Amino acid sequence: MNGLPADGGLPRYGVGQLNEAIGTLLERGFAPRFLVDATVSRPQFKKGHLWLTLTDGQSSIPAVIWASQLQKLSFVPEEGDGVVVVGKLNFWAAQARLTVQILDVRPSLTAVLRQFERVRALLAPEGLFDPERRRALPAWPGRIALLTSVPSSALADMLRTARERWPATRLLVVPIPVQGPVEARIRAAIERLGARARELELDAIVLARGGGSREDLTVFDAEELARCLAACPLPVVCGLGHEDDTTIADLVADYRAATPTAALVALLPDRQAERMALAQHRRHLGQLLILRLRAARQQLDRDRQRLDALQPHQLLAGQRQWLKQQRALLQALSPRHLLERGFALIRDAEGNLVRSISSVADGDRIMVDLVDGVLAAEVIQRRPTPSAPAATGPA
């Protein structure tokens, strides 16, 4: 109500009336809901409600999360957390006290990145991010586990990708929460799969979450979750958020995929590419088989020729031919062949061949071999060939 008229025309209020007027003014002039960027200070629980102060370092305002609303939140702020608050104003007229009633709260990007850097600085010296410790992904996974929220668009995309790329791989879908204070539940799921990996015939694990803000991925920056992933006996592929989002879990994983779909692409063979590769191998093997058959056929022909050459009649024919050649050679070289051509062989009295007139003397007895007999003769006179030097015989 308006205040009572007073001297000077100023409105006049009772305390309750003033407070009520202020409340009415706020209700009419202020947005019913709004966003506040702030840092949390002095949070404390009272009767199930969370009371805290929102500050930017210079100004502050009290705020409250009622117990009924607190149960619905995925993130509960702590001292020093940067937050983005969805709230509305509460004004208690009896005390003229103004409070922000928090309807939803999320960590601010600054707080998320600060947490990310803190955990990275803690784990990096331990070698959890070293490329050398990352395990190779299985070339032909028989079964993989998909850890993601169910139902979700990320799961639908992964199932579709698996069907298209390599339907022979079996998928084990493990529902997990992917936002809020759920780190312990995610770790428990990973540890159970690791303990039963052989029993379940698992070859790899995919930890996936669809798109959202970087603040929504805060749970994947947790230190204990990172240690759990590093200790997992199976290769781990992370596909969290968008391509530009990088979490601590991504750094620890054996393979970091840009999206959940990319995680399945990294793990599963492409059946179209494999079909083309098989066709190429088939052609190559066909050509190789033709070449080997051709070589074997040529070797068989050579062996057959060698075998034919070793047949007795072939050996005898070859020997006959060789003997015939040798006989012809002997005949060509035989003295008789010369005799048949009209030449003669002259021997001295001892039967030695006379090759020069110098080896005999006038009056020596000689034998002249002709083709049809032997002539006994006596050297009457020696006449040297005009082109040859004169021969001197014995006196």
pLDDT one-digit tens code per residue, 188-224: 999 999 999 999 999 999 999 988 788 788 899 999 9
Give dist(CA 204, CA 208) in Å, integer: 13
241 φ/ψ sector (left φ>0, alpha ψ -120 to 50, else beta): left
pLDDT tens per residue across span 55-91: 887 888 999 999 999 988 878 888 888 888 999 998 8
Residues 205 and 227 reside in one and the same domain: yes
Calculate the alpha carbon distances from 138 to 120, 144, 256, 272, 358 in Å: 28, 10, 15, 19, 103
Q: Which residues are paired to 340 by β-bridges?
A: none
Assess if residue 334 is contained within a domain.
Answer: no
pLDDT tens per residue across span 129-176: 999 999 999 999 999 999 999 999 999 999 999 999 999 999 999 999
Give dist(CA 251, CA 30) in Å, integer: 45
Task: Give the model's pLDDT for residue 121.
Answer: 94
173-191: average pLDDT? 92
Residues 254 and 117 reside in one and the same domain: yes
Query: What range defines the domain where residue 157 resides?
Result: 113-269
Residues 102 and 127 reside in one and the same domain: no
Residues 228 and 158 reside in one and the same domain: yes
Residue type for position 356: S
Give dist(CA 54, CA 37) in Å, integer: 9
230-252: average pLDDT? 93
CA angle 133, 134, 137 (to 5 degrees): 150
259-288: average pLDDT? 93
Residues 220 and 160 reside in one and the same domain: yes
Domain end (from 54, 76, 107): 107
**pTM higher than the cut 0.75:** no
Residues 176 and 103 reside in one and the same domain: no
Reported confidence tier of residue 1, pLDDT bands at 50, 70, 90: very low
For the chain, the average pLDDT equals 88
Task: Give the model's pLDDT for residue 144.
Answer: 97
Reported confidence tier of residue 393, pLDDT bands at 50, 70, 90: very low
Q: 165, 206 in Cβ contact below 8 A?
A: no
Give dist(CA 283, CA 267) in Å, integer: 28
Calculate the alpha carbon distances from 66 to 69, 75, 97, 142 in Å: 5, 14, 17, 49
* Residue 143: Cβ-neighbour burial (10 angstroms; 0-12, 13-18, 19+): middle
For the ranges 19-28, 47-56, 252-261, which has the lowest average pLDDT?
19-28
Assess if residue 218 is contained within a domain.
Answer: yes
Q: How many domains does the chain fold into? A: 4
